[in-house]
């Protein structure tokens, strides 16, 4: 999914140029706080901001020195195939330099910016400079069918080779005409290329024009192998490569059908869906309308209708419906044209993300990417605020504390409309957060307070985050070095007697304990009760860590003895870590650090005793042998 670029100005001298670039790209302009006037949004630290946006997969356009961007993203460089573009623009707008991602859109974007600024795009990618085209980055409406051959082909052309482009007569690949062509009498290195909808020939660099739309239908729980075999057989018979297909299209009620989902993944194309009414609108173009299908789903043909809707108003059926016992498929083509973007709505996606305790450096790159890709952010307002620049410009739906079920239900229903939604949680979304409630809503029946059928068909993605107990433990040292557990002291959803039972079990088991939701304005007694229960099983001087506002500017870490733990010191933003009977505070130069030994010292002592015993046994045997001698 292509993400909107970030345009950033580091100093006031580059503000005017940054504004022109941002306006041309129709994106917000970001400026450094206190340095840049007129920005839509601001950032405090240029290196951190650029690094965070890059990690989230956002193209970064910096009106600043190239070195700033290089230093920002250098620690993250690992995979040039998936890394987003990075472009540097001089403060006066005279030079535009694509630093990274030349074949991921940076060169094209740099040239566009240069046109706006009447500047020079300093493109250094060999293929773009010498050949005038990037063979591994075809234009919209085309796909590279043999990506493993592109690099070698460019190298051979740059070394003096010539291109011979064959293919379907009806296909015009004007964008390849800039390549040096091999004359009939050329006896040098000839790079074979083909522009065709047919499957690639071994050793030939192949480009596919995206001209076909695949429509499929199937019965509920159709075996994935059955649908896949049907489609692969049809494509093989028609000699059409998957790269020439825009997407797998079907009726929206099949958005959660495993066979359909797997087929799109196998072919490497998107899945796009249409409501029955939209499919019914093309009934007069179907070759096999069916009253049985209409009675079942509300349209006279799923596979043929979906293929025609996917191809658009100019599409015609290239392959009418084929069927097996449980599956159907059809193919539509756009004569003489290409499909630049798939038609139909995507299957909705709900990403359940944990953003960590608060600071961006504790947020995983995967979470940042999912947030960047989302169209809408849903969550408690404070948590969305903690996303900072990642949340700028996005639709956000804030919910108060206590509105957890409403929050999850809303997120699922929005995703059910085909949207990409991120449900934002603090810490890890699966630990005392919204993850479990989302799946509970999906598991409920329609009459049990569940969600709509549309919401039940969405893709749900769970991404891990740094939990509050992990963040607190890292600040402390290593208090979770041995067995530990987490207990919520909120009795809003859990009966009080169950909480007390768990407290007693954890106390008797001598677990290190992390208390979540320790107190609120109304709940003030369970923490004191927990302290008294624990004092029955572990020493009064057991170390306790209180960690408030972890990862935020107001972070506050302090230690107490278990017998001195006071409820008034704790609030809802505090994680309470209670040590086991073995936990200790090490007094170090930077202050006390809490840890729980794993028993290595005892094991080492035991090993030494074993060694000593073996020495004694050896000595006894030696003495016995001496006596025998």
Tokens of 615: 């020495």
509: left (phi over 0), alpha (psi -120 to 50) or beta: alpha
Report H helices in 145-257.
147-158, 224-238
536-to-505, 529, 564 alpha-carbon distances in Å: 12, 11, 14
259-to-214, 221, 276, 395 alpha-carbon distances in Å: 14, 7, 19, 33
The yes-or-no verdict on residue 611 having pLDDT over 70 is no
CA nearest to 579, candidates 563, 600, 555, 602: 563
Q: What are 221-253's pLDDT values in tens digits? A: 999 999 999 999 999 999 999 999 999 999 999
621: left (phi over 0), alpha (psi -120 to 50) or beta: alpha
d(C-alpha 233, C-alpha 216), whole Å: 13
Predicted confidence band of residue 131 (pLDDT cuts 50, 70, 90): low
d(C-alpha 339, C-alpha 343), whole Å: 9
What dotted CATH number matches 212-344? 3.30.420.180
The yes-or-no verdict on residue 478 having pLDDT over 90 is yes
423 or 358, greater pLDDT:
423
Among 91-100, 178-187, 545-554, the range with the most confident prediction by mean pLDDT is 91-100
Q: What are phi and psi of 352, to 5 degrees?
A: -95, 110
User: 150 near 136, Cβ under 8 Å?
Assistant: yes
Same topology, domains 348-466 and 470-598? Answer is no
Architecture of domain 348-466: 3-Layer(aba) Sandwich (3.40)
The yes-or-no verdict on residue 265 having pLDDT over 60 is yes
What dotted CATH number matches 470-598? 3.30.950.10
Question: What is the value of pTM for the model shown?
Answer: 0.83
d(C-alpha 154, C-alpha 128), whole Å: 10
Q: What are 391-415's pLDDT values in tens digits? A: 888 899 999 887 899 999 999 999 9
590-to-195, 475, 551, 561 alpha-carbon distances in Å: 66, 12, 18, 20
What dotted CATH number matches 6-124? 3.40.50.11220
Q: What angle do CA 84, 420, 218 make, to 5 degrees?
A: 110
Q: What average pLDDT does the chain have?
A: 89
Tokens of 472: 């607190």
138-to-145, 175, 179, 228 alpha-carbon distances in Å: 10, 8, 13, 27
The yes-or-no verdict on residue 125 having pLDDT over 80 is no
Helices 526-535 and 496-509: angle between axes, nearest 10 degrees? 30
Q: Where are the domains of the chain?
A: 6-124, 142-208, 212-344, 348-466, 470-598
The pLDDT value recorded for residue 591 is 84
Concatenating the DSSP letter of every residue in 438-469 gives HHHHHHS-GGGT---HHHHTSEEEEE----HH
The pLDDT value recorded for residue 132 is 65
The yes-or-no verdict on residue 10 having pLDDT over 80 is yes
d(C-alpha 161, C-alpha 320), whole Å: 44
Q: What are phi and psi of 358, to 5 degrees?
A: 160, -45
Residues 6+ apart with CB under 8 A from 159: 189
User: 565 near 538, Cβ under 8 Å?
Assistant: no
User: 410 near 427, Cβ under 8 Å?
Assistant: no
The pLDDT value recorded for residue 88 is 95
Predicted confidence band of residue 299 (pLDDT cuts 50, 70, 90): very high
Q: What is the mean pLDDT of residues 188-205?
A: 93
CA nearest to 478, candidates 470, 488, 490, 468: 470
């Amino acid at each position: 999914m292509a993400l909107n670029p970030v345009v950033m100005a580091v100093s006031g001298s580059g503000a005017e140029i940054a504004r022109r670039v941002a306006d041309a790209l129709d994106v917000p302009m970001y400026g450094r706080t206190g340095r840049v006037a007129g920005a839509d949004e601001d950032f405090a630290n240029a290196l951190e901001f650029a690094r965070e946006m890059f990690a989230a997969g956002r193209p970064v356009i910096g009106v600043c020195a190239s070195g700033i961007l290089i230093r920002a993203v250098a620690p993250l460089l690992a995979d040039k195939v998936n890394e987003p573009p990075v472009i540097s623009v001089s403060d006066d707008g005279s030079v535009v330099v694509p630093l990274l991602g030349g074949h991921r859109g940076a060169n094209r974007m740099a040239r566009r910016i240069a046109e706006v600024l009447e500047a020079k795009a300093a493109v250094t990618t060999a293929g773009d400079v010498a050949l005038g085209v990037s063979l591994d980055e075809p234009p919209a409406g085309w796909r590279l069918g043999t990506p493993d051959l592109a690099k070698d082909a460019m190298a051979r052309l740059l070394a003096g080779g010539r291109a011979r482009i064959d293919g379907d007569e009806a296909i015009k690949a004007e964008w390849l005409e800039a390549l040096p062509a091999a004359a009939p009498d050329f006896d040098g290195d000839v790079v074979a290329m083909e522009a065709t909808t047919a499957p690639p020939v071994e050793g030939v660099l192949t480009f596919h024009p995206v001209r076909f739309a695949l429509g499929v239908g199937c019965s509920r729980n159709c075996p994935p192998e059955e649908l896949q075999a049907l489609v692969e057989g049809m494509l093989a018979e028609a000699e059409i490569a998957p790269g020439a297909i825009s997407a797998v299209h079907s009726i929206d009620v099949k958005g959660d059908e495993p066979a359909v989902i797997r087929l799109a993944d196998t072919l490497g194309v998107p899945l796009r869906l249409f409501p029955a009414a939209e499919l019914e609108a093309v009934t007069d173009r179907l070759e096999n309308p069916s009253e049985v299908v209409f009675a079942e789903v509300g349209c006279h043909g799923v596979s043929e209708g979906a293929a025609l809707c996917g191809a658009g108003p100019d599409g015609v059926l290239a392959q009418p419906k084929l069927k097996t016992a449980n599956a159907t498929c059809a193919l539509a083509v756009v004569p003489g044209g290409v499909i630049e973007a798939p038609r139909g709505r995507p299957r909705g996606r709900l990403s359940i993300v944990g953003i960590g305790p608060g600071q961006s450096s504790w947020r995983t790159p995967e979470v940042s990417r999912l947030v960047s890709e989302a169209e809408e952010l849903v969550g408690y307002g404070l948590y969305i605020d903690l996303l900072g620049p990642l949340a700028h410009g996005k639709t956000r739906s804030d919910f108060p504390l206590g509105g957890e079920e409403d929050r999850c239900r809303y997120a699922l229903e929005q995703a059910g409309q085909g949207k990409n939604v991120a449900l934002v949680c603090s810490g890890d979304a699966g630990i005392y957060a919204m993850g479990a409630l989302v799946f509970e809503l999906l598991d409920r029946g329609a009459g049990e307070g569940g969600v709509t059928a549309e919401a039940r068909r969405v893709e749900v993605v769970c991404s891990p985050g740094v939990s509050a107990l992990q963040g607190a433990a890292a600040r402390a040292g290593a208090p979770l070095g041995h067995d530990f557990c987490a207990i919520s002291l909120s009795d809003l959803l859990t009966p009080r007697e169950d909480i007390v039972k768990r407290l007693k079990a954890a106390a008797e088991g001598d677990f290190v304990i992390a208390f979540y939701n320790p107190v609120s304005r109304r709940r003030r007694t369970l923490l004191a009760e927990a302290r008294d229960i624990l004092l029955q099983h572990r020493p009064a001087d057991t170390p306790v860590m209180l960690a408030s506002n972890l990862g935020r500017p107001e972070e506050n870490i302090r230690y107490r003895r278990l017998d001195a733990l006071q409820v008034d010191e704790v609030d809802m933003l505090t994680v309470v870590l209670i040590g086991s009977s073995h936990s200790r505070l090490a007094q170090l130069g930077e202050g006390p650090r809490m840890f729980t030994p794993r028993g290595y010292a005892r094991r080492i002592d035991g090993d030494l005793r074993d060694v000593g015993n073996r020495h004694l046994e050896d000595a006894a045997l030696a003495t016995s042998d001496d006596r025998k001698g």
